[in-house]
Structure 1
Amino acid sequence: MNKSGRNKIKQRSAVSRKLLMQYVISIIGYVVGVMLFVFVAWRFCMMFIWQPDDPLYILLQTVKEYIILFLGITFLIGWVFITYYFISKPLRYLDEVVVATEQLVVPSDEPIVLPNEMFYAENELNRVREKALDNARTVKEAEQRKNDLVMYLAHDLKTPLSSVIGYLTLLRDEQQISAELRERYLSISLEKAERLEDLINEFFEIVRFNLSNISLEYGKVNLTRMLEQITYEFKPMLVNKHLNCELNAPQDIMISCDINKMQRVFDNLLRNAVNYSYEGTNIKVFAELFNNNVCVKVINEGNTIPKEKLDRIFEQFFRLDTARNSSSGGAGLGLAIAKEIVELHHGTITADSANGITCFEVVIPLS
């Protein structure tokens, strides 16, 4: 049993002991009170001279004669009432707890309030309620993001598909079209078809990907060579957007990691930088060693990411391009995948954006 469980048992035991102590004190107090009352009443009656035929005197004599029976009945009645009170008290607590449990899933800023004796239960119920409401909000937000994603991707699929159909229809119907225009239409159709392929791959990614099921297969790799290869593979995209990528890294940084998944991390970060960079700007990739860790930074020039979006940028299905530019941006999984992979390697990934400069920083242990 963990420390938290032991503390809860101690708290419950303390409440039980408190109730038992109150019960015993109440019984003793009642007995003492009755005895004190009898003593005071007897002393008070002794102050008077009574006549034998006085009805009150006759009553007092009867009580005196049956004092043991009188006290026994008095004690019994008091014990019954006190016992009933202390038995019903936990039942009242139970009723209040039952009512409180009905508030566990009720959205409200007001906390659950129980009697002082039930402070431990009050704290537990408020903690469970807060967690349940947080989980409900998280599920609702995730469901909303998925619904938005399906709608956005459906829109993104329709746009290039409509273009492909339109240009192919023109090529079919326009018999006298020039070779130059035909080449242009074919080029546009091919570009839109490739975009369709990317979006379909995004759909497969959503169906296939499950963050909780990622497993790692470690191996040694030269991180510098990996970064050189990844930046080289992006050259067509860089040329298309008139971008330049600068890599600054020490020679032969050797790390132990899941090679394929770590490639995916830096591929996602560089792809993100390409998608959101201003045309004609530089993307910078830095790598440096410190304290048995390696730090990789991917820096690009583009629109500053607002603070509220920066806080959510690593969430699944979150996309920066609220305008839904279909020519860039994916399903909003790339950065979420990168974060999960980095954390599985016991590393960290952070983002910062200010004055048109956005920087993603990955820190992972060398081994």
Structure 2
Amino acid sequence: MANRKKLGSLLTQLTFLNTFIIAAVILIAGFTVKNYACNLVNQQQITGADLESLLNEYLIKVSALAFILAGGFHFFFIKWLTTPLKKLTEATQTLKRGQHPGKLKKTLIYEVKELNEAFNDLSETTALIKAKQNQLLRDLSHELRTPLTNLTGYLEGLEKGIIEGDKEIYRSLQEETQRIERLLQQLVHINQWTADEKNVYHQEEILIHELLRNRITAFQLKFKEKEIDVTTELAQCSLRGNRDGLHQVFSNLLQNIADYDIGKKLFIKGIVADQQYRVQFSHEGKKIPEAEKDLIFERFYRVDSSRAFVTEGAGLGLAISKEIVHAHGGTLTLDTDGHHHQFEVRLPANHMINKENNDESTMV
């Protein structure tokens, strides 16, 4: 609708300009012929057939000159107008062929300028999506290569009689198949949460502090094994959301912290501010370079093993968590100085419950 209005505005301006040029040419020709006729009659005293002949000759010359000037002006103006449109058309055809066109230059025509800017944004977005898709395919093939290679090796060994089947081998085969299955399930899950229709998931009223406390309790044994002291300070609050989705967000974050914590202390704080419920997970973990703190939410991303660590999973947990939080209208961020990390989840909140009665606890 907006593009149609812009196109209509451009056509209106062109019509007005053409009308103005025609009217100007007629007026100029008319006044010129009038002045010439007055000059012939008043100053040169020419009348009758001679006057008519001279006026006809002069009118033809004036008309021809006006036609040339008007046509030339119109030609160069239309060329000036259509050149960026032709370039836009060529760039669109290039994009249609799957290639990346160069960035279109700015033009003085406002409507065409907006079209160029919109196309440049579309082109950059398309290139980014294509790059992410290619990276996703490379990462996916890398993740599948190891378990498939293991499966192929075991099966060939069993077929050729190089190895004999036993419970240990069958267990290994089962682990590899389960690994592939988990990876595919995670990809399906993350695609569901990145769908355009964000309202497809079931929402319900949730006491978010209770859900978070339950998740912390579920990880209590793991934290004890890792000798991590956990301190919580959770304001009570309710909000609308998907229970299973938020359950997975907090589970992924707690699992990530349990795997990579080195400071042996975790502080979890839940507060209500600016109509949001903010959950902060603060701890000291293995090194995450400052420049890469946003990349850990990308699919399959892992911190360079030469500088820090390599995860054992597929690198999808934090990516899924971020998409789930975004689907709730919130944000998931990481603030770090390299070693001291603070993950923060922000979710739209309904209201606090007993604002002064926060849930505070400490466990080992």
Structure 1 length normalisation: TM-score?
0.71
Distance 2:233 2:173 in 1: 36
Which of 47, 52, 61 is 1:74 aligned to? 61
1:64 and 2:51 are equivalent in the alignment: yes
Structure 2 partner of 1:267: 251
Q: Which amino acid aligns with 2:327?
A: L
Q: Which amino acid aligns with 2:23?
A: V
Per the TM alignment, residue 87 of structure 1 is displaced from its structure 2 partner at its CA by 5.8
Structure 1 partner of 2:187: 206
Alignment of 1:303-322 (within 5 A): 303-315=286-298, 317-322=299-304
Which structure 2 residue ranges, 5 or more long, are not aligned?
A: 351-364
1:28 and 2:11 are equivalent in the alignment: no
Q: Which amino acid aligns with 1:311?
A: D
Match of 1:281, SS state, is strand
Contact 1:275–1:328 under 8 Å retained in 2:
no
> Does the C-alpha gap of structure 1 residues 140 and 261 become closer, same or farther in structure 2, counting only changes over 3 Å?
same
The percent identity for this pair of structures is 18
Alignment of 1:6-17 (within 5 A): 6=5, 9-10=8-9, 12-17=11-16
Alignment of 1:38-49 (within 5 A): none
Contact 2:288–2:303 under 8 Å retained in 1:
no
Aligned residues: 334
Per the TM alignment, residue 361 of structure 1 is displaced from its structure 2 partner at its CA by 0.8
Structure 1 partner of 2:133: 143
Which of 97, 103, 109 is 2:85 aligned to? 97
Which of 124, 131, 136 is 2:114 aligned to? 124
Structure 2 partner of 1:296: 279
Per the TM alignment, residue 158 of structure 1 is displaced from its structure 2 partner at its CA by 5.5
Which structure 1 residue ranges, 5 or more long, are not aligned?
A: 47-56, 175-181
Per the TM alignment, residue 28 of structure 1 is displaced from its structure 2 partner at its CA by 2.0
Match of 2:217, SS state, is helix
Distance 2:215 2:344 in 1: 17
Match of 1:102, SS state, is helix
Q: Which amino acid aligns with 2:302?
A: L
Alignment of 1:150-169 (within 5 A): 150-157=140-147
Distance 1:160 1:246 in 2: 39
Match of 2:269, SS state, is strand
Contact 1:245–1:283 under 8 Å retained in 2:
yes
Match of 1:103, SS state, is helix
Contact 2:204–2:243 under 8 Å retained in 1:
yes
Distance 1:262 1:347 in 2: 11
Deviations 1:330-352 (A, max 9, x none): 243x3333233223333232221
Deviations 1:305-360 (A, max 9, x none): 33443334434x2413344977523243x333323322333323222111411211
Structure 2 partner of 1:227: 212
- Which of 1 and 2 has greater Rg? 1
> Does the C-alpha gap of structure 1 residues 239 and 147 become closer, same or farther in structure 2, counting only changes over 3 Å?
farther
Structure 2 partner of 1:18: 17
Structure 2 partner of 1:255: 239
Structure 2 partner of 1:111: 105
Contact 1:164–1:193 under 8 Å retained in 2:
no
Match of 1:221, SS state, is strand
> Does the C-alpha gap of structure 1 residues 287 and 98 become closer, same or farther in structure 2, counting only changes over 3 Å?
same
> Does the C-alpha gap of structure 1 residues 253 and 160 become closer, same or farther in structure 2, counting only changes over 3 Å?
farther
Deviations 1:126-175 (A, max 9, x none): 2133123212222222122212212320244258769989xx9xxx979x
Distance 2:153 2:261 in 1: 25
Per the TM alignment, residue 248 of structure 1 is displaced from its structure 2 partner at its CA by 0.8
Match of 1:351, SS state, is strand
> Does the C-alpha gap of structure 1 residues 243 and 107 become closer, same or farther in structure 2, counting only changes over 3 Å?
farther
